[in-house]
Amino acid sequence: MGRMRTRPDESKRPGYITREGYRALEEEAERLWNVERPKLARAVAVAAAEGDRSENAEYIYGKKKLAEVDRRLQFLGNRMKVLRVADGPPPNDGKVYFGCWVDLEDEQGIVHTYRVVGPDEFDADRGWISMHSPVGKALLGKEEGDDVTIEKPSGTATFEIVGVRVLQCV
């Protein structure tokens, strides 16, 4: 019986990505291939030369890490083949499009800023949300001044779109 995945393999599913997001994937693949993988391969070779591999923790750990790097490289290769870089900025008409920055004001008057990006590049710490997330789906196509209701685990929340910026988009 094969290993069960916790989520479906979407590596070959087409999707959109910003130019910055694609560059980040390229940089990760380059770093893994040119820095991490050779370093791990050397460490595994050194550990293998020490003798009995069955009880050699450095060898076993190195082989596992090398397999992880190879899996990630394979995933990145598959993913980068099917991703479509969103080229050029969207219209500057006040509507929310892929790649735009959006300012949302909550019911307490606090403004939250998000960028709507593809699922391969979301980063909560940077405020980058996936276009497929509940918030991303609720925002796409809306415009400045619209109210947006979002279902959260703690209940519904209503926000007003107080700004849409296409500067620095895609």
The position carrying tokens 């190195």 is: 62
Is residue 26 one of the residues assigned to a domain? Answer: yes
Task: Provide the pLDDT confidence category of residue 11 given band limits of 50, 70 and 90.
Answer: low
Is residue 170 one of the residues assigned to a domain? Answer: no
117 and 157 both lie in a single domain: yes
pLDDT of residue 166: 84
- Please count the structural domains in the chain: 2
DSSP 96: -
Q: Measured between alpha carbons, how far is 106 from 17 in angstroms, rounded to an integer?
A: 28
Give me the chain's average pLDDT, please: 88
116 and 159 both lie in a single domain: yes
Domain enclosing residue 159, as ranges? 101-165
Task: Provide the pLDDT confidence category of residue 1 given band limits of 50, 70 and 90.
Answer: very low
Burial class (CB in 10 A: 0-12, 13-18, 19+), 71: exposed
Q: Measured between alpha carbons, how far is 66 from 37 in angstroms, rounded to an integer?
A: 7
